[in-house]
Amino acid sequence: MPSLPIPARWQAHLALGVTGHRATNPAFSAHAGAISSALESLLAQIEQIAAASLPDAQSALRLHSLLVDGTDQIAAELALARGWELVVPLPFGADLNLAINAHPVNPEDAAALCRGNSAADHAVETRAAAIRAITARAHLFELADRDTEVEALWLASLTDPENRVAARAFEALVSDNVALAGRVMIERTDLVVAVWDGRIANLPGGTGHTVTTALTLGTPVLLIDPATPQDWSILTRPEELGQPRAASPGTGPDVARLEAIIRAAVVAEGWAPALLEREAWRGRSSRAFGLYRRIERVFGGGPGAWGALRVDYEAPAEIAAGSGAGLAAAASTLPGGDEAVAGRLRNEVLPMFAWSDGIASRLADAYRSGMCVNFVLAALAVIIGIAYLPAGLTEIKWIFATIELLLLTGILVLTAAGSRLGWHRRWFELRRVAEYLRHAPGLLLLGVSRPTGRWPRKGGGATGAEWPEHFVRHTLRAVGLPRARLTRDYLRAGLAQVVLPHVVAQRAYHEAKSHRLERVHHRLDRAAGICFRLAVVSVLAYLLFKLGGAAGVIPKSWAAETSLVFTFLGVAFPTLGANLAGIRYFGDFERFGAISQVAAEKLGEIETRIGLLLSGAEASITYAAAADLMHALDEAVVDEIESWQSVFGAKHLALPA
């Protein structure tokens, strides 16, 4: 039995983001010293709060910053001094980003910095050296897909300051890319710390825009007024920006909110390592629980309806060289990619997916087949319980009654076992883990993440457990952003070799599943209907025998001699029909098929969009376009998970009624 995959021994991370005014902003420059002191005090307070829930808080704390001069760089230096990890989503490639933020005033210095050389202007080179020093200690994620275009417009505007067309185009591109980098930061953080005077909120990429975006995405913001930096308040909704600030922010309720945010970020209610450690992974499906799949296969049509049902699950240690080999190879060969992230995909994410998928599949078999077995046993109990009547075996009725008792006892035992062992709950939890991890590679390699505030809560209300979402979020967060320079070649390879094959395979799977389940539903419905019609025929036949005998058309003895047979059939057929209808209702094949059809349509649209992007102009392949596709894929996956949970959420293993 394979040991538990590495990610199951994860440690939660507390991820912060920081945004704020530049050093040249009057509100910042007038209080720079006080702002630095306030940030230092705040980081110490956050670390102290986190230490109550994290075994090694210092190594589990991560700061995300765009490293703009002013607030960003001060916070980054303070975080590094405390031993925190510094992650920097750069809006441009590292050299271009350094050049722009060093603020050269002539095109010669700008061009030199873009080539990785030194600037002639001492003040410019001093700023560049400070950026080099801090980025050398940071984990960089570079959005370099439009660097050539940005650099050309920038140099043109520096060469000809009167060229307002180039200047405006440059400013627009910079704003868009900074906003994109800010979105990357927000998606991976539990709390954004913002030093902002609250004045300008509509400049893309600006502090106010970042604050508004964070709140819109459900990420709380700790807001520091640069005029009174020791006071701060926490906002959780964009509408709160228009509310007057408390008289004494940073105390009382605000501290309590900070503590609650940190605890919610790193502690999952109901989580314990034993939840995963007790799950035994097995390489094959269970022989005892195959009835549900047999029903799907028989009523769904297709070859092998009565063939072997055993399913071999791919071993966690083998998936990277098996079904995941193409993905693993693509991740390792992305132009300018991060081999460390590719390695963690191979060694952690894919094995954890295989492990959770195999266990979830066995639990699904146990739960769904268990309920189907209950329906079958209930029908058999009734039918066998009265089978002595047409056989004329009244003197040994006790044998039939004993069999009926055993069948009814089996229903009670199976129901109690399923409830005690938590088949329903465990299936839901492990299936969510598996499905989130199934589509994680594309998200990880392209640096896209579901914002903390947008993850489903308590499994969509299905089981009351929120640990699967928490577990997966931190498993993916442990992998982190790739240390990569995202060029158009990188984006093209990622979309074509990682994302598109996944989308195509999932679309085909859901299309086939939708058609199969629709057939199962209609054929079960038809079979149940036939049983009820046969019941009507049997009752009608008896009545006709009775009437025929009374009218002298047939011997009266026929009705008497066949009454027990017709009584048996009049009970057996409705019982069988009712239980087939019960299986159809419990399985909800029609709704499951509809959910898969919707998922297939969404995935088909994403597949088309990816194809159009890859076959279009090279300039259209941008990080913004790729991220938008990944968010659409993420939404489609989560919507499908929540939909099937809504179908089976309240259908616990129970006595057939």
| Residue 548: per-residue pLDDT | 93
Question: How is residue 210 written in tokens?
Answer: 């970042």
Looking at this protein, which amino acid is placed at residue 81? A
How high is the pLDDT of residue 510? 96
Residues in a beta bridge with 18: 65, 193
Whether residue 452 has pLDDT greater than 50: yes
212-242 residue pLDDT tens: 999 999 999 999 999 999 989 999 999 998 8
In this predicted model, what pLDDT tens digit does every residue of 389-409 receive, in sequence order? 998 898 999 999 999 999 999
Least confident residue range of 61-75, 295-309, 423-437: 295-309
Residue 463 pLDDT grade (very low, low, confident, very high; cuts 50, 70, 90): low
- pLDDT tier at 461 (50, 70, 90 boundaries)? very low
Q: What is the largest CA-CA distance in the chain?
A: 122
The per-residue pLDDT for 157 is: 94
Q: Strands 61-65 and 484-485, how do they pair? A: unpaired
pLDDT (0 to 100) of residue 498: 97
- Whether 64 has a pLDDT exceeding 90, the answer reads yes
**546-581 burial string, b = 16+ CB within 10 Å, else e?**
beebeeeeeeeeebeebebebbbbbbbbbbbbbbbb
Distance CA(78)–CA(74), nearest Å, equals 6
- Tell me what pLDDT residue 552 has: 87
Residue 341 predicted with pLDDT over 90: yes
Whether pLDDT at 91 is above 90: yes
Planar angle of CA 624, 629, 633, nearest 5 degrees = 145
**Segment among 112-116, 296-300, 528-532 with least mean pLDDT:** 296-300
Quick: pLDDT tens for 351-381: 999 999 999 999 999 999 999 999 999 999 9
Q: In this structure, how many other beta carbons lie within 10 angstroms of the beta carbon of residue 377?
A: 20
pLDDT at 247 over 70: no
pLDDT confidence of residue 8: 56
Residue 246: what pLDDT?
64
Q: pLDDT tens digit string along 505-557?
A: 999 999 999 999 999 999 999 999 999 999 999 999 999 999 999 988 899 89
Per-residue confidence (pLDDT) for residue 460, from 0 to 100: 47
pLDDT of residue 205: 85
Instruction: Please name the residues in contact with 409: beta carbons below 8 A apart, sequence gap of 6 or more.
Output: none
Q: How confident is the model at residue 462 (pLDDT cuts 50, 70, 90)?
A: very low
**Short-list 361, 372, 316, 350, CA closest to 520:** 372
What pLDDT was estimated at residue 276? 82
Could you tell me the pTM of the whole model? 0.91
Q: Give the pair of three-digit tokens for residue 264.
A: 């919610």
Asked if the model's pLDDT at residue 464 lies above 70, the reply is no
**Predicted pLDDT at 9:** 60
Q: Tell me, what's the pLDDT at 649?
A: 74
pLDDT of residue 1: 45
**Predicted pLDDT of residue 10:** 66
User: Is the pLDDT reported for residue 588 higher than 70?
Assistant: yes
Burial 22-43 (b: 16+ CB within 10 A, else e): bbebebbeebbeebbebbbebb
Q: Count Cα atoms within 13 angstroms, Cβ side, for 69.
A: 19
- Tell me what pLDDT residue 648 has: 77
| Residue-level pLDDT at 244 | 77
Side-chain-side CA neighbours of 138 within 13 Å: the count stands at 28
Q: What is the pLDDT of residue 657?
A: 59
The kind and range of the H/E element at 58 are none
pLDDT band with cut points at 50, 70 and 90 for residue 271: confident
pLDDT digit string, tens, across residues 145-188: 999 999 999 999 999 998 999 999 999 999 999 999 999 999 99
Beta strands in 128-180 (DSSP E): 139-142
